[in-house]
Amino acid sequence: MQIKLICSDIDGTLLNKDRELSLRTILAIKSFSPIPFILISSRMPKAMVHLQEDLNIINSPLIAYNGGLIIHNNKVLHTTEIDIDTIKSITDFCKKTKIHTSLYHNDEWFVPQMDYWAKREENNTKGKTQVNAIKKTIEKWKIESKGAHKIMCMGDENEIDNLVNFLKKDNNKVIGYRSKPTYLEISHKNISKKTAIETLLHLKYPNIKLENVLAFGDNYNDIEMLKHVGLGVAVQNAKDKVLAIADDVTLHNKEDGVAIFLEKYFN
């Protein structure tokens, strides 16, 4: 099997304990630069671009929001958005709780207030949010014919449990990925990292097949991607369900697992 394209999740996979790219990871990725290296994440684009710059892959496409948005050279190649009525349904439910709700569209990130959760997410992703009432954000996007690429809900574990149950019973247009007990990332049900890679190959790399793709991941939203690419590799700290379906397992993300696998595989 010839690897012609590499995709990697970011948080919990590519970054080290300081949520940064280690020098070893940067050098490993730069060492095989003829092979496209694609960042694929639930993050927003501007929380990914600084990593592209560090890796010297700024001219490569990136896949944001678990596959909801594909961008290349600041041009949108493909977008799949949660419609306004669904956004309203979810945010109305969250209003009755203490759940923090963030709304994302491309590089727009709106929060109703700068609370603990918003500050924490800014620190984790190095992104910058804007304070805007949910109602005003929905009205703005309705006028602009926009939807949400992601709804991020953060809060008490039990309240997140209730939100998950609500989505299962009352909303069949979205899917929720629980990256932590207190985090729920909501995306359009028709997208995944796997479908995004397929779309990217069709649009930009028509001579590359899914079986020629190497991918790295650690969390539930990586499962479909790792199952269907030619070589799906989990880091040692991945969820048990991810480890169970991976073709191979490398070291912990805090131990440069991705870099070490690449060094061994390509040498």
CA 206, 209, 212, 213 torsion-angle sign: positive
Calpha distance 93→165 (Å, rounded): 11
Q: Are residues 74 and 203 located together in one domain of the fold?
A: yes
Structure tokens that stand for 77 in this block: 């190649």
- Contact of 156 with 183, CB cutoff 8 Å: no
Q: What is the pLDDT of residue 68?
A: 97
Give the domain-ending residue among 134, 163, 188.
188
Structure tokens that stand for 253 in this block: 């993300």
Q: How many CA atoms lie within 13 A of 92 on its CB side?
A: 11
Q: Are residues 130 and 73 located together in one domain of the fold?
A: no
Hey, what long-range contacts does 257-262 have (CB within 8 A, 24 or more apart)? 257/13, 257/216, 258/8, 258/13, 258/14, 258/25, 258/28, 258/216, 258/233, 259/22, 259/24, 259/25, 259/27, 259/28, 259/29, 260/24, 260/28, 261/216, 261/233, 262/6, 262/28, 262/29, 262/31, 262/32
Q: Are residues 110 and 171 located together in one domain of the fold?
A: yes
CATH at 150: 3.30.1240.10
Q: What is the pLDDT of residue 32?
A: 84
Collapse the DSSP code of 175 into the 3-class scheme (helix H, G, I; strand E, B; otherwise coil) and give the result.
strand
DSSP class of 210: G
- What range defines the domain where residue 178 resides? 84-188
Q: Are residues 74 and 198 located together in one domain of the fold?
A: yes
Using only C-alpha atoms, the chain has a radius of gyration, in whole angstroms, of 18
Q: Are residues 96 and 156 located together in one domain of the fold?
A: yes
Give the domain-ending residue among 188, 222, 241.
188
Work out how many domains the chain is built from and give that number: 2
Please measure the distance between the N-terminal and C-terminal CA atoms of the chain and give it in whole angstroms: 15
Calpha distance 192→36 (Å, rounded): 20
pTM of the entire predicted model: 0.93
Structure tokens that stand for 144 in this block: 């602009």
Collapse the DSSP code of 43 into the 3-class scheme (helix H, G, I; strand E, B; otherwise coil) and give the result.
coil
Q: Are residues 69 and 199 located together in one domain of the fold?
A: yes
Calpha distance 24→34 (Å, rounded): 18
Query: For every one of its 267 residues, what pLDDT tens digit does the chain have, with 9 covering 90 and above?
Result: 799 999 999 999 999 999 999 999 999 999 987 899 999 999 999 999 999 999 999 999 999 999 999 999 999 999 999 999 999 999 999 999 999 999 999 999 999 999 999 999 998 888 889 999 999 999 999 999 999 999 999 999 999 999 999 998 877 899 999 888 999 999 999 999 999 999 999 999 999 999 999 999 999 999 999 999 999 999 999 999 999 999 999 999 999 999 999 999 998
Q: Are residues 202 and 261 located together in one domain of the fold?
A: yes
CATH at 222: 3.40.50.1000
